[in-house]
Each structure stands twice: as C-alpha cells, then as structure tokens.
A and B are shown apart, each in its own frame.
Chain A
Amino acid sequence: MIEVKNLSKRYGAHIAVKDASFTISKGEIVGFLGPNGAGKSTIMNILTGYISLTSGSATIGGFDIVDHPEQAKRHIGYLPEHPPLYLDMTVREYLNFIYDLKKVKFPKKPHIDEICKLVSIEDVENRLIKNLSKGYRQRVGVAQALVGNPDVLILDEPTVGLDPKQITQFRKLIEALGKHHTVIVSSHILSEIQAVCKRILIINDGEIVADDTADNLAKNLSSDHTLNLRVQGPQAEIEKTLLGIRGVLSVKCLGVVEKGSLDFEIEPEETADVRKDIFNRLSDRKWPILEFTTEEMSLEHIFLRLTDGKFTVPTKKTAKKNTEVEFTSSILDSNKEDDE
C-alpha cells in the first residue's frame, strides 16, 4: 500500500529525514515512534504530499506522490499534528466542505452521518468548531481524515492533549479503523504505540533505527537478562554466596529498598540459567527471597536506548538488508560525555 524508498528531506544544511525506506502493506497498523523532532511528522507530511521530498520516492496505492499527487492523495486521510479545522464553521459545515473538497462520490448525508457516529461527534454536529474542547476538535480532525473512506489513514500524534478516558476511546477507535484501513500512527509515547500497533518503526534523528514487531524488538534487544533479587540476610555473605554460583558474572548490591532486606542485581552469563541455583543456595542458608525478577527489557528501555544511540538493531525490510544501522560518531561521543 505504501512504499517508501531512500526518502530524504533536507532543509538547507539540516537533514530532517535521512534515507528512510519501508513498506507498509494493506491492513497493517504501524506506529511511528520517536522523540520530538525526530522526523515523524516530516515523513508523514511527505507521504501526504503536504511537503516535498529532497530525494528518494514514496508511492501510495501504486501512485507516486510527486508524479501523480492527485491519485495518490485520493488514497489518504490525514490528521496532522494540529487538526486542520476552520474554527468559524460548525462541525457539519466543515465536514461537508471537506467532502466537497475531496470530491467524494458516496451519498453525502449518510456518509457524513456514518463518520460522525464512528467518532462520536453527533451531539456536537451543529456547534461551531471554535467552541469545542480539544478532545472534540481532535475527533473532528479524525472525522475529516475519514471523509471519502480512504484506504490509508495517517494520524500524527492523535492522542496529544486528550484525557486518559479519551485516550482509551481513541485507541479503540484506531483499532476499529485498522480493520478496514491501513493505519499509520505516530507518537512519542510508547505505551500508546504498543497498545494499538503490531509493527513499530522507531525513528531517531531522521533515521529509521528499528522496524519490527513490538515483541521482536523486546526479544532482540533484551539479550542482557539481568536478575533482580531482594533477600533478607547479611550483605557480604550473600554476595559471596551468589558469586560462588556457576554462571554468575557479577553481583551488585543496590542497597535497602524494603526495610530489613537488601536488593541485588545479578548479571549471569548469557547462556546460563542460574535462577534455580540461586534459589537453592539462598534457601539452604535460610535467607528468604522476598522478590525475584528477571529484567525483560520493556519497550520503554529499548526506545530510550535506541534513541540514545547506545544500541544497534538489525533492521528488517529496509534497503540496507541485514546491515546494522550505525549511529553517527557524534551521537556516540555525546553519550560518552553524558556518561562521564
């Protein structure tokens, strides 16, 4: 449905998007994830034909956005970061305007009624947009994108400024839309992307640094499975005992978190499973384990690490197949400084 090849966008000396490539097939819900200013909106603006690209290509539904903008745009419904609303119009007037603008062929009234129902704005239909709350405006923005029933929906940070209840409603809406549309959602909030998208593209500094399912991302990156342990007992002896277990590389005492106990971080060898041994040894010595967790790296961690530039992941489906995305030395250097 969407095919992006070596897409770059330059503003003078500043490179907003660097050689991005990805394909999104029909019916996928894909999340663009990245810190603010990473280039998510730029990519979306290019895909929708709002701004141009410097090099590379982007096709939507088989139509190149530069060469055949009208045909390509017909496939897209776009909700930009800031919903494009005429504040002096009522919701109904505005949607009618968008309907006319997009030259939609469906019967007008039932089509717009249906959209209003879908995004639950029927009760504000006749109110001026300027009198609507942020949440409602956002929904009108989605309604606007849905007019004409396009195959692809591109939603740029759709939940910003919504309250938690609205956010849950919104997620449900996106999931529902995903049944019939190809959806791209962007956000800098992980939990949100994780909740609705099966596939995630992590974008940092204009580059796609990871492209995979949420589960795979977690799996690939959490090769260092640190163990966290909370035990009651004498610190020095516990450390000694733990280090005595085969496969344990290091033990670090994290101090007292719960009164009367100590927390430890244990780093085992990659292949070894030391959990049983740890349990047996400690129970032999009558040091009760109060808590024992393996640290599966959460997406939050992965995201932070990726966007910090400390990690590299094999990217899937990109032009540079099977190659590692390398971070520029400047990022690494700046991180080193941070570490110091």
Chain B
Amino acid sequence: MTAVFKREMKAYFTMPVGYIVIAVMLLLSGMYFSYMCKSSYSNISFVFSSISSIALLMAPIITMRLFSEDRKQKVDQALFTAPVKLISIVFGKFLAAFTLFMIPMGITLIYQIVLAFTADINWLLYLSDILGIALMGAAILSIGLFISALTESQMIAGIFGMAVSFFIMQIDYFASAVNVEWFSSFCTSVSFISRYNAFTSGQFDFSNIVFFISVVVIFLYFTHLVLDKKRWA
C-alpha cells in the first residue's frame, strides 16, 4: 500500500496534474478569502461553502488517471502479479488522491491564522469545515477511482467523472424541480452539497459522517470488485 501511495504521490508532482489541482483550488479559495476580507466578514466557512463545487469538479481530474492509465500502459500486470492484496493497491491509490486533494485544503489553515490576528474566530467551526471537505472529498474521490477502474482511457474517466460530479451538484435542484415526494426526499438524502453545507454551517450531524464514509467504503469495494472481475472475465 505504501509503495503504491508513494509512487502515485510522486507521479502527481512529476506530471503537471498535482500542481494544476493545487493551483486551481488555491486560486479559488484565495479569491473567496479576499472577497470575504473585503466585506469584513470573518467566518472562513464562507470560503469552504463556496469552493464545494470546484472541489467536486477537481476530484475527477485527480482520480481519472489512477487505474485507467495503469491498464493502458499495462503496468497493472506488475501490480496485480505482485504478492500484495488487490485491496491494498486500491487503498494506496485512494490515499494518494485524498492526500493531494487535502493539500490545498490544509493550506487554508494559513487563511485562518491570518484571520486570527484580526478577529475572533471559531476554531471548532474550522475543524468542522475541514472534516466536511475531507469527507465529501473522500466520497467523490472514491467514485472517481471507481470510474477510473472501468475504462482504459483517462479522458473518458475524466469526462465521465465530471459528469457525475455535475450531477451531484445539481441533485438539490432535482429535488425541488420534481414534484414527487419520494423522489425529492431521496434526492435530498443523497445530496452531497446539502450534507456538506451542514458541516460548514457548524451543524454536527453524525448521519452525515456515516453517509460519506459509507459512500467511500461502497465505492472502494466496487473498485475492488471491478478489478477483480476483470481477472475472472
């Protein structure tokens, strides 16, 4: 697992993708931070709630390469014939993606420190923001990883992943647009954004944590299943 993790982390920074993801996320979070400062508002949750959609769109870029490119370059033959469990390979890749995702999020700590000089800040709320973005990020990354295991083309994995992210962003809209009760309540219950917003608004709801962790577990398991099934095909 550590070998795969180390390799993928290194790959993110030998290829431009790591820098691009970090740059885009920092640019946008920095932008929202500066808006926030201008309006003399001192709650960093504003930054976090604003970057949720860009975080959702960045995730497929982080994950699209992970399994598809291995398959295309046939490196998977080295991975899957090594004396390691398939799940640890899946987990190593997932952790690498998650770490990259969390780097720009960790940098927001600087914003928070800057804020701390000028205003009273709520550290607990900041923790809740970080936990929220980490959980939603992990969930969307695990879906991206699963998509990447489905195809040999990282482009397809990326585009399909984007489509899924876009769908996830719109799910609250579906909930209000379709006037069927069970459908609306279903949409609300699987909405990443509204569950995430609960974190940024400081509502601690255990079910949200369980929801995101379940998504991660399910999609990592599906990834494992897909890779294993290809061997049995």
Contact = CB atoms under 8 A, between A and B. Distances in A.
Interface of A: 11, 45, 48-52, 69-71, 73-74, 76, 78, 80, 82-89, 93, 97-98, 100-103, 144
Contact of A101 (B10, B77, B78): B78
B232 A97 contact: no
Given A50-B231, A88-B11, A70 B78 contact: no
B74 A93 contact: no
A132 to B, nearest CB: 14
A73 B11 contact: no
Nearest to B78: A84
User: Is the contact region of chain B dominated by helix, strand, or loop, or is it mixed?
Assistant: helix
B207 interface: no
A88 B81 contact: no
B83 A74 contact: yes
Contact of A84 (B2, B4, B77, B233): B77
18 contacts: A48-B77, A50-B81, A50-B231, A51-B231, A51-B232, A73-B83, A78-B78, A80-B78, A84-B76, A85-B73, A88-B14, A88-B15, A89-B11, A93-B10, A97-B6, A100-B2, A103-B83, A103-B84
Given A74-B83, A84-B75, A84-B79, 4 more contacts: A70-B83, A71-B83, A78-B78, A101-B84
Given A80-B77, A103-B84, A52 B231 contact: yes
B7 A97 contact: yes
A313 B231 CA distance: 33
Interface in B77-92: 77-85
Interface in B22-76: 73-76
Contacts of A50: 77, 80-81, 231
B11 to A, nearest CB: 6
B107 interface: no
Q: Bin chain B's interface residue count.
A: 20 to 34
Contacts of A86: 7, 11, 73, 75
A235 B227 CA distance: 70
Contacts of B231: 50-52
A98 to B, nearest CB: 7
B210 interface: no
B217 interface: no
Output the residue of A70, A71, A86, A103 with the most chain B CB within 10 A. A86
Contacts of B83: 69-71, 73-74, 102-103
A144 B74 CA distance: 14
B79 A87 contact: no
Output the residue of B80, B82, B232 with the most chain A CB within 10 A. B82
A76 B78 CA distance: 11
A70 B79 CA distance: 12
Contact of B81 (A76, A85, A93, A103): A76
Given A70-B84, A78-B81, A101 B75 contact: no
Contacts of B232: 51-52
Given A11-B233, A86-B75, A87-B73, A73 B7 contact: no
A-B interface, 9 closest residue pairs, ranked by CB to CB distance from nearest: A100-B3, A84-B78, A73-B83, A101-B3, A48-B81, A74-B83, A80-B77, A84-B75, A84-B77
Contacts of A78: 77-78, 81
A54 B215 CA distance: 33
Given A70-B84, A84-B74, A101 B15 contact: no
A100 B231 CA distance: 24
Contacts of A89: 7, 10-11, 14
Output the residue of B74, B77, B233 with the most chain A CB within 10 A. B77
Contacts of B3: 97, 100-101
Output the residue of A48, A50, A89, A101 with the most chain B CB within 10 A. A101
Contacts of A144: 78
A51 to B, nearest CB: 5
Contacts of A51: 231-232
Given A11-B233, A52-B232, A97-B7, A84 B82 contact: no
B82 to A, nearest CB: 5
Interface string B77-111: 11111111100000000000000000000000000
A265 to B, nearest CB: 48
A86 B3 CA distance: 13
Interface in B96-141: none
A144 B81 CA distance: 12
B74 A101 contact: no
B202 to A, nearest CB: 42
A64 B152 CA distance: 30
Contacts of B74: 80, 82-84
A144 B4 CA distance: 15
A51 B232 CA distance: 6
Output the residue of B80, B85, B232 with the most chain A CB within 10 A. B80
Contacts of A48: 77, 81
Contacts of A73: 81-83
Contacts of B4: 101
A101 B221 CA distance: 21
